[in-house]
Amino acid sequence: MGSLTGKRALITGGASGIGRAMALLFAREGAAVAIADLDETGGEAVVQMIEDGGGRATFVLCNVTQAQDCRRAVRFTVEELGGLEILVNNAGIIRRASVLDTTEEEWDQVMAVNVKSIFLFSKYAVPVMAQAGGGVIINTASGWGLVGGRRAVSYCASKGAVVNMTRAMALDHGAQNIRVNCICPGDTDTPMLRDEARQLGEPEKRFLAEAAQRPLQRIGRPEDIAQAALYLASDASSFVTGTALVVDGGGLAG
């Protein structure tokens, strides 16, 4: 325990699902955590859980698609926590539809939340990290950023962009001692995954059972993805940058 002691982390989409698990784990490992989300109730609940456990956390209401909100969230984190060493660009949404059934509005929304937010938060966080001597950026991508998936064209496009953005940022900022990596989760038991069943008009129980058909015979837990993020955030991965870490129970193995 304590692999992140003295670090300050900002996690987007930290009010639920994978982001929530990351926030709780990072706090247990000694980091002070700022959660940026539109879900104020959920975000404040995570903050309370961290504080009840003796950790330090804060919440900032943020629309991750708006530059002024992203700039304010980074500034708020630095002011409240005293610095910023770890940025986790985790906020994301999915729309399950083919190109024929995806509206222009849906396309723009998915790209804004899943891709533009990473651009904006990184734009404002990198100077802070560079001035302090370095830092870590972790982007949440997806297995569908590496291979295609049916009826999810906007999501696949956005996560493919995240994977290659990660590589480009690693090249640009390595000399500033800023490591940039992404995680590619497989199906993980989150509210977003369960919402996919609703979008596709499928029974949730059957949808989740089909999602578990991979070598490890289960879907992921948010804590599984959080552990991968902890590795990338900690000094254990000090020579790792520009990589896409697949955490999917073997789903892409064959």
What's the confidence (pLDDT) of residue 1? 67
CATH at residue 167 = 3.40.50.720
The answer as to whether 89 is a domain residue is yes
Task: Domain of residue 34: give its range.
Answer: 8-188+221-242
CA distance 187 to 225: 11
Q: Please check whether residue 34 is in contact with residue 8, taking contact to mean a CB–CB distance below 8 angstroms.
A: yes
Query: For the whole prediction, is pTM greater than 0.95?
Result: yes
Torsional sign, CA 216, 22, 182, 175:
negative
Structure tokens at 42: 């959920």
Task: List Cβ neighbours of 156 (8 Å cut-off, separation of 6 or more).
Answer: 144, 145, 148, 149
The answer as to whether 200 is a domain residue is no
Q: Is 168 exposed, middle or buried (0-12, 13-18, 19+ CB in 10 A)?
A: exposed
CA-angle at 173, arms to 171 and 178, nearest 5°: 120
The answer as to whether 213 is a domain residue is no
The answer as to whether 214 is a domain residue is no
What's the confidence (pLDDT) of residue 2? 84
**Catalytic entry in 155, 158, 166, 197:** 155
From first to last of the 254 residues of the chain, give the pLDDT tens digit.
Answer: 689 999 999 999 999 999 999 999 999 999 999 999 999 999 999 999 999 999 999 999 999 999 999 999 999 999 999 999 999 999 999 999 999 999 999 999 999 999 999 999 999 999 999 999 999 999 999 999 999 999 999 999 999 999 999 999 999 999 999 999 999 999 999 999 999 999 999 999 999 999 999 999 999 999 999 999 999 999 999 999 999 999 999 999 98
The answer as to whether 205 is a domain residue is no
Our answer to whether residue 155 is catalytic in this structure is yes
The answer as to whether 21 is a domain residue is yes
Domain total of the chain: 1
The answer as to whether 152 is a domain residue is yes
Q: Please check whether residue 5 is in contact with residue 30, taking contact to mean a CB–CB distance below 8 angstroms.
A: yes
What's the confidence (pLDDT) of residue 50? 98
The answer as to whether 208 is a domain residue is no
